[in-house]
Amino acid sequence: MLNQNKIAVVIPYYNASKHIADVLQKLPEFIDTVYIVDDCGEEALPSTILETFKKSVYLKNNKNLGVGGATKTGFKQAIQDQIDIVVKVDADDQMDTSYIEALVSPLIHSKAEYAKGNRFRDFKALKNMPTVRKIGNLGLSFLTKAATGYWNNFDPTNGFFAVKTTTLKQLDFDTIANRYYFETSLIAELYFQDVRIKDIPMPAIYGDEKSSMSVWKMPFVFLPKLFKTFVKRIIKSYFVYDFNMSSIYLLFGIPLFLFGFIYGLYTWWFYSSKAIFAPTGTIMLVTLTIIIGFQLLLQAVHYDITKAPKSN
């Protein structure tokens, strides 16, 4: 317990028998409960773990649900046990658990409802991050900002986070992904509850554990999901839950820009095939609709950035 807050750790366990004991040993003393969620991997949880670590509670999924599915199992149990704050820690010992107090502090002092690690604030640690992963995370982080609406936060796929259970109670877990898209879909749902997210600078740790997803597969997995998340957020935020100036910008900006772009391509193809110059009026129509549409979309983006929930 810390400042009268019951704090639990959820550890999704999957084929990490070599590391789980080290992870548990490094947890701070103020942790009240540790939920180890067995996600039906090939490596069973070592039999001595529950005997050695008395704060541990063993949960097991009926089938493999992925890191998100296992974490949600822990969330549900934490809510049932009336825990105040839940911290998600991976079982592969690649998270520095000495930062748990820094994660829960903004939640305890009501400066945020959700806090997560940010590996891009520590330059020394950033240099140690594999180049491919660094580039991928930078690009993915920007696209995730646009998709989720949290423009002021970075490293959104970081799985080391703390969240209030009062916040979790407001979420529909069925809308949150079970596997690789878990962290992003969770943040996307937090946006609709106007949840404040605090970034906590911390180093990244890379051990001998290998990701089960190939780097080349990641764009094909994330891009369609990010696009769907983006469209869902825009429709809900500006045409269902609210209607404001940004809604107007989008209503006029999207059709104007698309008309100018598509009609411009058609005009270029048509007059090029005829080997004649396009009329000045046609060129002006294409140019003006593209410029005006683009400016309106920029205004919508600016409004969206200023609307992002901010932590204290």
| pLDDT (tens digit per residue) in 189-212 | 999 999 999 999 987 665 555 554
| One domain for residues 218 and 249 | no
| One domain for residues 229 and 255 | no
Q: Which residues pair with 33 in a beta bridge?
A: 8
Instruction: Give the residue carrying structure tokens 């749902």.
Output: 189
Is residue 16 within 8 Å of 91, Cβ to Cβ? yes
| pLDDT (tens digit per residue) in 42-92 | 999 998 999 899 999 999 999 999 999 999 999 999 999 999 999 999 999
Instruction: Give the residue carrying structure tokens 């008309």.
Output: 259
| One domain for residues 210 and 289 | no
Task: Report, as an integer, the average pLDDT of 125-137.
Answer: 72
Residue 108 has pLDDT above 60, yes or no: yes
| One domain for residues 141 and 162 | yes
- The set of residues, in sequence order, having a beta carbon less than 8 Å from that of 262 and lying 6+ positions away, is none
Q: How many domains does the chain have?
A: 2
**Cα(206)–Cα(95) distance, integer angstroms:** 9
Asked if residue 1 belongs to a domain, the reply is: no
Is residue 104 within 8 Å of 116, Cβ to Cβ? no
Q: What's the pLDDT score for residue 242?
A: 94
| One domain for residues 135 and 163 | yes
Task: Report, as an integer, the average pLDDT of 254-282.
Answer: 93
| One domain for residues 166 and 60 | yes
Q: What's the pLDDT score for residue 157?
A: 80
**Cα(198)–Cα(114) distance, integer angstroms:** 6
Residue 232 CB coordination number (10 Å): 15
**Cα(217)–Cα(250) distance, integer angstroms:** 32
Which of residues 221, 237, 253 is at a domain's end?
A: 237
| One domain for residues 222 and 248 | no
Residue 310 has pLDDT above 70, yes or no: yes
Asked if residue 193 belongs to a domain, the reply is: yes
**Cα(74)–Cα(200) distance, integer angstroms:** 23
Report the residue count for the chain.
Answer: 312
Q: Which run of H or E residues covers position 222?
A: helix 218-235
The two tokens of residue 209 are 């554990």
Entry pTM: 0.88
- The set of residues, in sequence order, having a beta carbon less than 8 Å from that of 204 and lying 6+ positions away, is 94, 119, 125, 126, 128, 129
| One domain for residues 134 and 264 | no
Which of residues 237, 270, 285 is at a domain's end?
A: 237
The two tokens of residue 12 are 């999704």
Range of the domain at 66: 7-237
| One domain for residues 286 and 255 | yes
Q: What's the pLDDT score for residue 95?
A: 92
Q: What's the pLDDT score for residue 208?
A: 53
Is residue 196 within 8 Å of 311, Cβ to Cβ? yes
| CATH of residue 63 | 3.90.550.10
The two tokens of residue 307 are 């609307």
Buried b (16+ CB within 10 A) or exposed e, 257-280: beebeeebeebeeeeeeeeeeeee
The two tokens of residue 154 are 């970075």
Residue 26 has pLDDT above 90, yes or no: yes
| One domain for residues 22 and 130 | yes
Task: Report, as an integer, the average pLDDT of 215-233.
Answer: 84
Alpha carbon 243 to its chain centroid, in Å, reads: 26
Amino acid (1-letter code) at residue 259: F
Percent of the chain having pLDDT more than 90? 78
Of the CA atoms within 13 Å of residue 42, those in its CB half-sphere come to: 0
Q: What's the pLDDT score for residue 175?
A: 94
**Cα(132)–Cα(211) distance, integer angstroms:** 13
